[in-house]
Amino acid sequence: MGARQENGTPRKLASVTEEEIANVTDNEVRKYLRGEGANLEVWTIVVTSWDTLDESPENFMYLQVIQDKKLKGQLAFREELYGKSAKAAAKAEKWLMPTEGGYLDAEGIEKTWRIKQDTIAREVDISSSKKQYDIVLPDFGPYTLDFTSSGRYMAAAGHKGHLAIIDLQNLGVIKELQDEMMLIGVTGIVVNENVEFRGRGTLMYVREAVRDVVFLHNELFFAAAQNKYLYIYNRDGTELHCLKEHGAVLKLQFLKNHFLLASINNFGQLHYQDVTTGEMVNSYRTGLGRSDVLQVNPFNGVIASGHSGGTVNMWKPTSAAPLVKMLCHHGPVTGLAFHPNGHLMATAGMDKKIKLWDLRKFQVLQTLPGHAKTLDFSQKGLLATATGSFIQVLGDFSGSQKYSRYMGHSMAKGYQIQKVSFRPYEDVLGIGHSMGWSSILIPGAGEPNFDSWVANPFETSKQRREKEVRSLLDKLPAEAIMLDPSKIGTVRSARKKEKPTKQEREAEIEAAVAAAKSVLLKKKTKGRNKPSKLVKKRQQGIERAKRPLLEQQMEEELSKKKKRKMSEDNQLPKSLQRFARKTATA
């Protein structure tokens, strides 16, 4: 099948000439150009006559966009620089990446979605096969999971009060806190025989419901949404904060660039809290009732919430009204996920549909049948959907954003899957279910090459400390969240001049009338100071004040009529146009 990734092709470095190294195709470069550059040589055509049918050249005026030579030179230099750096990045991607991506190729009549996890485990190396395990903890499920951005640590939260932080590199539970946990540790864990837990990790037992867990900026802190309040713990399981303002939180999200903890509670209230200062940035009532579907778009930091009415609303912390309201399903929304490039959203609803949306046009790209309780996109764009005890992984192999079956996996019967989550930088899918948590291999899911400055799975504590400081220096203000983050630093196009509304116009006239009324009239000599004359004069003053405003109003109406007339004229077939009235009706 076409599951094989492009950079998974074997390289024969020995036979590569220098020319080949220097050559990169435009397609490879485009990714790094981040959109079109400024076109400096464009001549725009400005129509100078309304008679669009007459195409004689005097009706068009040609304008050069950039006339300032100095500016043009600077822009040209800058564009060249961007081109060069994009090319260098593309070349680095082609030749310098240390790791190849995973892939799964079916041969002959095989189908990738029929390949079982056991078969994959037999084929891959031992260290990879160790990533496939089931942890059975029947007393505390269902479990929900969260990974750190480097994919090294996992937080698992059992609904009946179990919290665990696990170092996935050496599969160690970091620390045991209470005696009860020892018991679970001994009796509960049944694993794939290759895997044993050792080393460092945290297991803790809070005696109340845990609905969601999320890591803060690094593995040292995590937030857990418990029965009544939201708590922040450190890695050792010490409670640092109890955030009562959030209420009984159902779902949590953390915005890494902004250091914002977002939560939605059982009354449908959305809270944004800055975790560096503790300030509550904003809180909004969604007004759409209880919701436990909340997902942050990694591309722009906008948070989407799915509601029981089938709508998906997108929020930013600086406006009480949602940025976008979409009616996605006829029935409650059950799951929501964003592609890492931010242009694709997957939603699942109770109406037995899974929909893929293009977020640039807010249109459906594809509708797939099926329920999904939880959805997740991997770094390479695979989509995992899960319902009941069955997981399906979809992939986009045609390159045309049409997702099709890639892999499937069934848990043991009766397991209810609560959450699926791809582990970053690994070909691993984490599954939280009613009987514990599991991990399966999905080849081609993760980004094979990490960037040490973004997220490093092999981070030392010193590097982590340095990164914490750096990321705090680069902390974005809450205002930086917007639908199109590339808008920052660009010129805002001139806003259309808004017409005053009817009320505003009336208010204006009223104000003018009041001003005219309040004018003190001079006292005239005897005989010329008659009350009737005074009234008449005052009336005249009022009319004089009203007149320009009324005239303006009339003019606008006239021009509107004229415009409408002209558009009607244009709709006529050409042969009939000469019969249309030329002059606008007064």
Partner 1 sequence: MKVKVISRSTDEFTRERSQDLQRVFHNFDPNLRTQEKAVEYVRALNAAKLEKIFARPFIGAMDGHRDSVSCMAKNPNHLKGIFSGSMDGDIRLWDIASRRTVCEFTGHKGAVRGLTASTDGRILVSCGSDCTVRLWSVPIATAMESDGTSDSSNKPLAVHVSKNALWAADHQWDGDLFATAGAQVDIWDHNRSQPVKSFEWGSDTVISVRFNPGEPNILATSASDRSITMYDLRMDSPARKLIMRTRTNSISWNPMEPMNFTAANEDCNCYSYDARKLDEAKCVHKDHVSAVLDIDYSPTGREFVTGSYDRTVRIFQYNGGHSREIYHTKRMQRVFCVKFSCDASYVISGSDDTNLRLWKAKASEQLGVILPRERKKHEYMEAVKNRYKHLPEVKRISRHRHLPRPVYKASALRRIMAAAERRKEDRRRAHSTPGSMPKESVRKRRIIKEVE
Q: Among 23, 39, 49, 169, which residue sits at the site for partner 1 (rule: CB under 8 A)? A: 169
**Minimal distance, residue 124 CB to partner 1, in Å:** 5
Q: Among 61, 92, 242, 584, which residue sits at the site for partner 1 (rule: CB under 8 A)? A: 92
Please give the structure tokens belonging to residue 175: 């620390």
Q: Among 276, 290, 458, 514, which residue sits at the site for partner 1 (rule: CB under 8 A)? A: 458
Please give the structure tokens belonging to residue 441: 């291999």
**Minimal distance, residue 213 CB to partner 1, in Å:** 22
Map the footprint of partner 1 across residues 241-300, applying CB under 8 A: 257, 298-300
Distance, in Å, from the CA atom of 391 to the CA atom of 381, rounded to the nearest integer, reads: 16
Three-state secondary structure along 498-547? CCCCHHHHHHHHHHHHHHHHCCCCCCCCCCCCCHHHHHHHHHHHHHHHHH
Map the footprint of partner 1 across residues 121-150, applying CB under 8 A: 123-125, 127-128, 131
Distance, in Å, from the CA atom of 276 to the CA atom of 497, rounded to the nearest integer, reads: 41
488 binds partner 1 per the rule CB under 8 A: yes
What single string gives the DSSP state of each residue in 147-216?
E-TTSSEEEEEETTTEEEEEETTTTEEEEE-SHHHHHHHHHT----TT----S-EEEEE-SS-EEEEEE-
Beta bridge partners of 315: 303
**Minimal distance, residue 328 CB to partner 1, in Å:** 23
**Minimal distance, residue 490 CB to partner 1, in Å:** 9
Distance, in Å, from the CA atom of 488 to the CA atom of 470, rounded to the nearest integer, reads: 21
Map the footprint of partner 1 across residues 396-435, applying CB under 8 A: 425-427
**Minimal distance, residue 70 CB to partner 1, in Å:** 9
Nearer to partner 1, 91 or 352 (CB): 91
Please give the structure tokens belonging to residue 416: 């209810």
Q: Which amino acid is at 565?
A: K
By rule CB under 8 A, what string of x and - marks binding of each residue 526-565 to partner 1?
----------------------------------------
Cis peptide before 142 (omega within 30 of 0): yes
**Residues 168, 170, 171, 174, CA torsion sign:** negative
By rule CB under 8 A, what string of x and - marks binding of each residue 491-530 to partner 1?
----------------------------------------
**Minimal distance, residue 8 CB to partner 1, in Å:** 7
**Minimal distance, residue 145 CB to partner 1, in Å:** 19
Helical (H) or strand (E) element with 271: strand 269-274
Q: Among 161, 188, 201, 301, which residue sits at the site for partner 1 (rule: CB under 8 A)? A: 301
**Minimal distance, residue 39 CB to partner 1, in Å:** 20
- Considering only 360-368, 408-416, 458-466, 561-569, which stretch makes contact with partner 1 by CB under 8 A? 458-466
Closest CA to 253 of 169, 336, 132: 336
Q: Among 191, 195, 350, 476, which residue sits at the site for partner 1 (rule: CB under 8 A)? A: 476
Burial class (CB in 10 A: 0-12, 13-18, 19+), 394: buried
Nearer to partner 1, 94 or 175 (CB): 94
**Minimal distance, residue 257 CB to partner 1, in Å:** 5
Contact 161, 208 (CB under 8 A): yes
Map the footprint of partner 1 across residues 97-116, applying CB under 8 A: 97-107, 110, 115
Map the footprint of partner 1 across residues 6-25, applying CB under 8 A: 8
**Minimal distance, residue 314 CB to partner 1, in Å:** 16
Contact 289, 269 (CB under 8 A): no
- Considering only 14-22, 311-319, 338-346, 565-573, which stretch makes contact with partner 1 by CB under 8 A? 338-346
Number of neighbours of residue 414 by Cβ within 10 angstroms: 10
**Minimal distance, residue 293 CB to partner 1, in Å:** 21
Distances (CA, A) of 235 to 158, 175, 530: 17, 9, 91
Please give the structure tokens belonging to residue 541: 């003053």
Closest CA to 240 of 258, 216, 223, 226: 223
By rule CB under 8 A, what string of x and - marks binding of each residue 30-69 to partner 1?
-xx-x-----------------------------------
Provide φ and ψ at 475, rounded to 5°: -60, 130
Distance, in Å, from the CA atom of 36 to the CA atom of 38, rounded to the nearest integer, reads: 7
Instruction: Enumerate binding residues for partner 1 (CB under 8 A).
Output: 8, 31-32, 34, 89, 92-93, 96-107, 110, 115, 119-120, 123-125, 127-128, 131, 169, 257, 298-301, 340-342, 379, 425-427, 441, 443, 446-458, 460, 463, 473-477, 480, 485-486, 488-489
